């Protein structure tokens, strides 16, 4: 007898709670929306639309926002949104609201939606927090309604929210190409339980638009010294952290470090404190590092030292 997975498009580790409709008119689900890091990011110029063409190797991490989505069968078509962080837009500029609106149109639904977002992922950090949130709301609503969207429909809705959303929805180590929308799963044999992640983000961000614009100004559109993503794919397939460190690359560090030299200082600080390797993620300004748990590293102490060195308002996160 075939066993049907209750949450076909949701990872077990992301599910917090679920209340189906049952005999009532309300259903709710609470999910984690994990951030991602770029193990590799290269820019291959722009296409005819002016979109930057990318080669990115992405991986989801344990840092996550938490989102509760509730559907009420009342025919009123309301959309309520609240967040623990003030100042976030509450219209379609917010990916949670945008995802809910697109799903409502797809379903032609008149039910009311209520979305509660608890932000843990910092803003303008290069961690795809907004994309992760939009993907999470899409998966939440799709499950509450009984999985009406097949893979093709989920892909179209994901892309309508943003080009990073397909990866954030699928959440498997992947090679993302084109403008980021093309996701190909890759072989990942790294023993991630052995390596502990640390994030350090200074109290300023860098918008994606600004990062790409400055990259074009500085480089003319491509970096001839980019090593190519194949070495990163090989390192992951072999599960070799030393190879991975040598293969890591982020083209957007070029404009980020020019504007904020402190980013490179954070990279060097983490390496000096025992990291296997360290690099900035995405358009920045978060720097991440991996530490070998087989060696003696107290990441809480490293985080404390980072705040002492770079300021108490620096964001830090580490895996126990």
- Measured in whole angstroms, the distance separating CA 200 from the mean position of its chain's CA atoms is 16
- Return the DSSP state at 27: E
H, E, C per residue of 216-267: HHHHCCECCCCCCCHHHHHHHHHCCHHHHHHHCEECCHHHHHHHCCHHHHHH
| Dihedral over Cα of 254, 255, 261, 263: its sign | negative
Active-site position among 14, 42, 65, 164: 164
305 carries an active-site annotation: no
Active-site position among 32, 36, 171, 201: 36
Q: Give residues with Cβ within 8 angstroms of 126, minimum separation 6.
A: 37, 38, 206, 252, 280, 281, 282, 283, 284, 285, 286
Q: Do 132 and 66 form a contact (C-beta atoms < 8 A)?
A: no
298 carries an active-site annotation: no
Catalytic positions: 36, 164
């Amino acid at each position: 007898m075939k066993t049907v997975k209750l949450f076909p498009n949701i990872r077990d580790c992301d599910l917090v709670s679920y209340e189906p409709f049952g005999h009532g008119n309300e259903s709710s689900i609470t999910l984690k929306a994990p951030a991602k890091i770029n193990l590799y990011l290269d820019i291959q110029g722009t296409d005819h639309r002016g979109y930057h063409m990318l080669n990115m190797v992405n991986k989801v991490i344990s840092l996550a926002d938490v989102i509760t989505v509730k559907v009420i069968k009342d025919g009123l078509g309301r959309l309520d949104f609240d967040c623990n962080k003030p100042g976030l837009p509450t219209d379609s500029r917010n990916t949670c609201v945008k995802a809910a609106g697109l799903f409502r149109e797809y379903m032609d639904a008149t039910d009311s939606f209520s979305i509660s977002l608890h932000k843990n992922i910092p803003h303008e950090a290069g961690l795809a927090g907004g994309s992760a949130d939009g993907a999470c709301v899409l998966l939440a609503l799709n499950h509450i309604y009984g999985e009406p969207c097949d893979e093709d429909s989920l892909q179209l809705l994901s892309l309508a929210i943003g080009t990073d959303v397909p990866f954030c929805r699928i959440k498997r180590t992947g090679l993302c190409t084109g403008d980021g929308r093309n996701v190909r799963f890759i072989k990942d044999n790294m023993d991630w339980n052995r390596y502990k992640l640390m994030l350090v983000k200074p109290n300023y961000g860098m918008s994606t638009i600004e990062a790409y614009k400055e990259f074009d100004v500085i480089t003319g559109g491509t970096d001839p010294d980019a090593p190519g993503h194949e070495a990163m794919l090989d390192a992951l397939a072999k599960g070799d952290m030393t190879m991975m460190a040598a293969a890591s690359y982020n083209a957007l560090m070029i404009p980020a470090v020019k504007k904020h030299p402190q980013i490179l200082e954070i990279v060097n600080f983490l390496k000096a404190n025992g990291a296997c390797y360290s690099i900035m993620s995405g358009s920045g300004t978060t720097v991440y590092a991996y530490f070998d748990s087989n060696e003696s590293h107290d990441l809480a102490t490293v985080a404390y030292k980072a705040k002492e060195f770079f300021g108490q308002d620096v964001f830090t996160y580490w895996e126990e």
